[in-house]
Structure 1
Amino acid sequence: MIPEAVITLLAIVRLGAIHTVVFAGFSAGSLKDRILDADAKVVVTADQSFRGGKVIETKKIVDEALKHTPNVTHNLVFERTGKKDDLHWVEGRDYWWHEEVVKHRPYFPPVPVNSEHPIFLLYTSGSTGKPKGVVHSTAGYLLGAASTSKYVFDLHDHDILFTAGDVGWITGHTYVVYGPLLLGATTVVFEGTPAYPNFSRYWDIVDAHKISHFYVAPTALRLLKRAGLDYIHHDLSSLRTLGSVGEPIAPDVWTWYNDNIGKGRAHICDTYWQTETGSHIISPYAGVTPTKPGSASFPVFGIDPVIIDPVNGHELEGNDIEGVLAVRSPWPSMARTVWNAHERYLDTYFRPYPGYYFTGDGCGRDHDGYYWIRGRVDDVVNVSGHRLSTAEIEAALIEHPAVAESAVVGIHDDLTGQAVNAFVALKTKPTDSSATKKELILQVRKSIGPFAAPKQILLVDDLPKTRSGKIMRRILRKVLSGEEDSLGDISTLSNPDVVQHIISVVHATK
């Protein structure tokens, strides 16, 4: 991510137009789908980009996508590396950023818009496989971004917020761009990974720029914890608030974060929110809320969460309860619709439990009233804080000509939170299983992007199904987790004998 990404977002909003940011790790096919769904007219990109010491051929990905998006009339290209040897250029469509900027005066008056005018679309994975273009409104979203940055993080105009997230995700929108800048604070734009050129990268930045607020996903913290304390030899005394985002943070990682980065002085805000909520909805307040390692603590003001019994749909009262998390009343920064699919918006978030916004996450409330997020209860896998649709990954696998059926599930992973595991039934027995697995992983990387690639491919004869043909992913999760003794009644499956076969395949990989 580069500063020009932030400049582009602010410019688009100033014009009263709508932006939709696509993470550079997506494939050309995924980019094409998003451009077509949004009916985008202009693309802004770079010739290339860097990540972890690798060069990403950003414009080549865009060029491939634009072969199938006739409505795009302009492609503005920022010169990031300047390597033009094999750069494909389409006259009349492609324009250099530096050549166009000098043609225009530096001031353009902001275009007034209605408070409910869409400020941006952001695509998030859905359980049906087709990504959802979540729509946020101008006034409500900006209010949520500003108020939570101010009150949750205790962010002031003299502070420096380092959110180690990409602008391609909601965290980058709210807490790299809009939240801190609305408050007049300084924001850090970060390009790269926490491990390159070494595991000191984050702490080098904190020390050099005297960062006051640091916000990161537990995935990165697990990686740095595993790397050891030798990489932490910096002055981190400027840190006042530490944040965690994207998934629940394990108590041992929370403790490591507190002891070694915050030195027992900085307050940890374990924030819970979603692309659809726009800003934090459950979180401690920095310097105010007594915290428990692993708990998101209490609702942000204005949020009215409830825990619902998933069996009968009734609200559970009191404490020491477990269920699914929902919200009773609307709040300013909630998503307004799904682009061109309002019925899908209603079906996904409001019809599962009428009268409530359904988060899709399991949740507990302990005896002290603290909220504990348990993770997804739908067919979405959370890998390193990125929500991936299992249906989308399955659809990518099915594109391979050898695949008959596939089922994707997520299970706990010490590093990434969850890992993608794919059970694949082939049309015929492969001559080289190892080569076939590699082809399938490459298929997902090509169709969706490298971050969606399965950690493990398990080739099986068949998948466990009900008599109506529904694949029982619950059984696959339990087998992968070593819970074969608690599979429940499998006699109702159309093919109960396949379960033992799957258990054998899983055991053979361990």
Structure 2
Amino acid sequence: RVTIWLPMIPELAIIMLACTRLGVIHSIVFGGFSKEAVKDRIQDSNSRLLFTSDETVRAGKFYPKMADVVKIIDAVHTIEQVIVVKRSGNEIPHTKKDIWYSDFIANESENCACEEMDSEDTLFILYTSGTTGKPKGVKHTTGGYILYTSFSHRIVFNYKEGDIWYCTADIGWITGHSYIIYGPLANGATTLMFEGVPTYPDVDRFWQICEDHKVTHFYTAPTAIRAIMRFGDEPVKRHDLSSLKLLGTVGEPINPEAWTWYHRVVGKSRCPIVDTYWQTETGGIIMTPIATATPTKPGSCCLPFLGIKPIIFDLEGNEVTEADEGGYLCIAQSWPGMLRDIWEDTERFKSTYLTKFPGYYYTDDGARKDEDGYYWILGRLDDVIKVSGHRIGTMEIESALVSHPSVAEAAVAPFPHKIKGQAIYAYVTLMQGIKKSAKLSKEIRMHVRQEIGPVFQPDVIQFADALPKTRSGKIMRRILKAIAAGTEIGNVTTLADPSVVDDLIAERKKLDIEIG
């Protein structure tokens, strides 16, 4: 096995494709992970080689990596050699095992025979979070995975020869594996890689890239859309986006307000939006509209992809048949792109995905199906707040919050209440130029009351300059729950900016909140 811990530079794609050509299993670790996270993944996979870089560049700043690598090598003894890509050229510490990437490839032949593989041979391992805390090494196979990613890329996005494909994900996550590298390249597509953040050096970075490279297909996350929405329409309007044919979203459900802005402002009300649902474990998209063919509904991932048979169960294991009634989303039969195992832990594979509802793949997500047969993802079923006996998903409250014109982004968490059992604590990020005030807080609470009812009006609104997010853009709800309840925060090393937590705690202390 080979572990790759690199930023979004060309060598990352080159090395992973070289592994595939040689029949070597790669394990890519997101470049923003801590040394402890990298060490754990190397140990679990027993990797022999580590590819890394001297430094990483993010938003114009250099972040050293080799000091961490030295500590990793001291703790992990399976690594035989460390190959270092020169990203900055600054002075760095070295280990006895490292060699520059340029020297590593200097004497290699330009020709390399392709290793013949069985369709069920392991292609790669990709670690994803587990409920126990230990990451799961999701194992994908050569034939089924590449078939599924290439087929879904071509059909879902209506890809045609000559199109310019731009997925803004990081290759350290499954979206980057499937829809920057394997899917598009298997279809002969031109795929665009981006190293950086969407707001640096300016908030129009995405649109500058789309204009400069005549991008036709743009695929990004709702959290990125909401972050950019804060700055209004002007950064988008200053660029010629006439090359765009299609817009896509991935990573989490998109709230209808962000969907509408994306369609109207970025897509000029002419580009179809493909709201896709899938997981690291599914390998590729499993719920989606088909571009130009499926009528869409803002916030819905629409219908199952070809060959996918979803079913929704209640707590007792009975199929949910009533329209708009939520339950546990499962898949009734296998498909080519699904994971085959958890690396070196088949029992965990069975207990996590195949045991809760025997005979079905368990997604660990909630969903509902409306009267038209369209699916709506509710997120993790533990993301539910129960107020005075009334259950509601956090996403529904958050959607009501961001439908207020002053709100750019919102997240809610429960906290104990001596009368209601749980109360609603809302963290709200305002649009650029909007000033926080007690009057605005009251106005937002009344807005939620009108949108979804008085029971679910937030008890507390805390204005926040930023929310605690991982470097992939996912909100760390565990931290928000802890701050709201005044309990232990826990580990914050996976956050893009841990200082956000300190700011939230400081603001929380200023609020007079009685914990039940």
- Judge same fold: TM > 0.5, yes or no: yes
Structure 2 CA distance, aligned partners of 1:224 and 1:302? 35
Counterpart CA distance in 2 for 1:506 and 1:150 is 54
1:444 equivalent to 2:492? Answer yes
How far 1:57 sits from its partner (Å)? 1.3
| Equivalent residue for 1:294, pick from 290, 299, 302 | 299
User: Quick one: which of 136, 139, 153 aligns to 2:140?
Assistant: 136
Q: Which residue of 2 aligns with 1:69?
A: 76
Instruction: Identify which of 495, 510, 513 aligns with 1:507.
Output: 513
Note if contact 1:31-1:62 (Cα within 8 Å) is conserved in structure 2. Answer: no
- What is the correspondence of 1:15-414 to structure 2 with a 5 Å cutoff? 15-84=22-91, 87-91=92-96, 93-232=97-236, 233-309=238-314, 311-317=315-321, 319-378=323-382
Q: Structure 2 vs 1, CA of residues 361 and 113 (structure 1 numbering), >3 Å: closer, same or farther? A: same
Q: What SS does the corresponding residue of 1:444 show, helix, strand or coil?
A: coil
Higher normalized contact order (CA 8 Å, seq sep 6+, divided by chain length): 1
Write out per-residue CA displacement over residues 209-267 of structure 1, whole angstroms, 9 at most, x where no aligned residue: 00010000000000110111221111101111111000000000000000011111111
8 Å CA contact 1:150–1:183 kept in 2: the answer is yes
The answer on whether the counterparts of 1:27 and 1:449 sit within 8 Å (CA) in structure 2 is: no
C-alpha deviation, 1:274, in angstroms: 0.2
C-alpha distance after superposition, 1:371-404 (max 9, x if no partner): 0001112589xx9xxxxxxxxxxxxxxxxxxxxx
Structure 1 unaligned residues grouped into runs of 5+ = 384-408, 426-432, 460-501
- Cα offset, 1:24, TM superposition: 1.3
Given residue 69 of structure 1, which amino acid in structure 2 is its aligned partner?
V
Shift in Å at residue 128 of structure 1?
0.8
User: Do the aligned residues in 1 keep the contact of 2:311 with 2:332 (CA within 8 Å)?
Assistant: yes
1:123-164 CA-partner distances (Å, limit 9, x unpaired): 000111100000001101001110110000111231111100
Separation in 2 of the partners of 1:285 and 1:410?
Answer: 37
* 1:25 and 1:451 in contact (8 A); partners too: no
Cα displacement string for residues 394-429 of structure 1 (whole angstroms, at most 9, x for unaligned residues):
xxxxxxxxxxxxxxx99877676744326779xxxx
The 1:506/1:366 distance shift into structure 2, 3 A limit, reads: farther
Letter in structure 1 aligned against 2:240:
D
- Does the 8 A contact of 1:313 with 1:353 survive in 2? yes
Tell me the distance in 2 between the aligned counterparts of 1:50 and 1:508: 44
Distance 2:320 2:498 in 1: 36
Gaps of 5+ in 2: 1-7, 385-393, 395-423, 430-466, 468-472
- The answer as to whether partners of 1:422 and 1:456 remain within 8 angstroms in 2 is no
SS state at 2:367 partner:
strand
Conserved? CA contact 1:79–1:96, under 8 Å: yes
Instruction: Give CA deviations for 1:456-483 in whole Å, capped at 9, x if unaligned.
Output: 7999xxxxxxxxxxxxxxxxxxxxxxxx
Count of equivalent residues: 422
TM-score by length of 1: 0.78
> 1:188 is aligned with what amino acid?
L
Distance 2:368 2:319 in 1: 13
* Cα separation, 2, equivalents of 1:18 and 1:146: 20
Q: What secondary structure sits across from 1:35 in the alignment? A: helix
Q: Give the corresponding residue for 2:5.
A: none
Q: In structure 1, how many angstroms separate the alpha carbons of the residues matched to 2:11 and 2:107?
A: 17
> What is the CA deviation profile of residues 486-508 of structure 1, one whole-angstrom value per residue up to 9, with x for unaligned ones?
xxxxxxxxxxxxxxxx9998827
| Preserved CA contact (<8 Å) 1:423 1:457 | no
Give the TM-score taking structure 2 as reference length.
0.77
Contact 1:26 1:450 in 2 (8 A): no
Distance 2:285 2:240 in 1: 29
Tell me how large the CA RMSD over aligned residues is.
2.8
Q: What is the deviation of 1:116? A: 0.5
Query: What is the rounded CA distance, in whole Å, between the counterparts of 2:354 and 2:512 in structure 1?
Result: 38
Aligned-residue offset at 1:59 = 2.4
Deviations 1:2-25 (A, max 9, x none): 111000110001110100110111
Shift of 1:317: 2.7
Corresponding residue of 1:11: 18
- Identical amino acids, percent of aligned pairs: 42
CA contact (8 A) 2:342 2:348 kept: yes
- Could you tell me which residue of structure 2 aligns to residue 483 of structure 1? none
1:102 Cα shift? 1.8
Identify if the C-alpha distance between structure 1 residues 245 and 147 changes in structure 2 by more than 3 Å, giving closer, same or farther.
same
3-state SS of 1:507 partner: coil
- Contact kept? 2:70, 2:95, Cα under 8 Å: no
CA contact (8 A) 1:410 1:419 kept: no
> How far apart are residue 362 of structure 1 and its match?
0.7
Following superposition, the deviation at residue 344 of structure 1 comes to 0.5
Q: Distance in 2 between matches of 1:7 and 1:374?
A: 37
User: Runs of 4 or more off by more than 3 Å in structure 1?
Assistant: 409-420, 422-425, 448-459, 502-506
Counterparts of 1:379 and 1:264, CA distance in 2: 33
1:451 CA drift (Å): 6.2
Residues of 1 paired with 2:245 and 2:309: CA distance? 28
CA offsets 1:338-386 (integer angstroms, 9 cap, x no match): 0011110111111011111010111010010100001112589xx9xxx
Q: Secondary structure at the match of 1:259?
A: helix
